[in-house]
Amino acid sequence: MRMTRRGHALPRLTRSHGRDCGASTDWYQSSPMERSMNLRVIFAGFAIATFGLFMITFNALGQQQPLKDQLVGTWTLLSWEQKKGDGTKVERYGTSPKGIAFFDAGGRYIITVMRSDRAKYASNALWRGTLEENKETADGTITYFGTYSVSEADSSIAIHVEGSSFPNWNGTDQKRFVAITEDQLTLTVRPPGGDVVDVTWMRAQ
């Protein structure tokens, strides 16, 4: 204990007093190895937090991507389903149809859907199908191509059909509602009469 000139004792500054003053000496009294480990923990926590913030920002930017940019690419068919007004479902192209859709950045598209269970032609010649074989081909296939534009307001595309395997569509303008979730695309058609057609695609790898 220290004494003043007048004989008064001065309080001794202990470690607890140091902590009360906000000046802990634990860090300085720790070994170099302990300090190194503490720094590693701090840096690791900072790195994890930074990476998490980056991923959140990256995902947010992906979600804000315009619908047109999300639509561009190649898609393979998952299902084609028609829901009638009375609630019944029709799979006009079978339970496992095949198909592909292309949308390019310049506003052009081509869509093809067909049954996968069609019988082969007996003649094995493209132009020598029987009436029944030709009918099955026509009923089990739809192909069309042309131009498209995107409406961000109602998440839809307006398509102009330049050519189609169904000739009545040639030169027509149609509308498809678009829903994209990660790598899955659903094009919905609402023709007159209350039916709803959902065509679901998966982005090609």
- Of 158 and 51, which is predicted with more confidence? 158
- Of 179 and 190, which is predicted with more confidence? 179
Cα dihedral value 95, 140, 111, 145, nearest 10:
-170
Percent of the chain with pLDDT over 70: 69
Q: Where are the domains of the chain?
A: 15-63, 67-203
Residue 92: is its pLDDT beyond 80? yes
Residue 48: is its pLDDT beyond 80? no
Residue 103: is its pLDDT beyond 70? yes
Yes or no: say if 160 and 149 are a contact pair by the CB < 8 Å rule: no
Residue 78: is its pLDDT beyond 50? yes
Tell which CATH architecture fits domain 67-203. Answer: Beta Barrel (2.40)
**7-12: which pairs have CB atoms within 8 A and are 24 or more residues apart?**
none
pLDDT band of 157, cuts 50, 70, 90: very high
Over range 124-142, report the average pLDDT.
94
Closest CA to 177 of 138, 151, 146, 142: 151
pLDDT of residue 58: 47
Residue 24: is its pLDDT beyond 80? no
pLDDT of residue 26: 57
Yes or no: say if 175 and 188 are a contact pair by the CB < 8 Å rule: no
pLDDT of residue 193: 78
Over range 136-155, report the average pLDDT.
97
Over range 34-50, report the average pLDDT.
62
CA gyration radius for the chain? 35
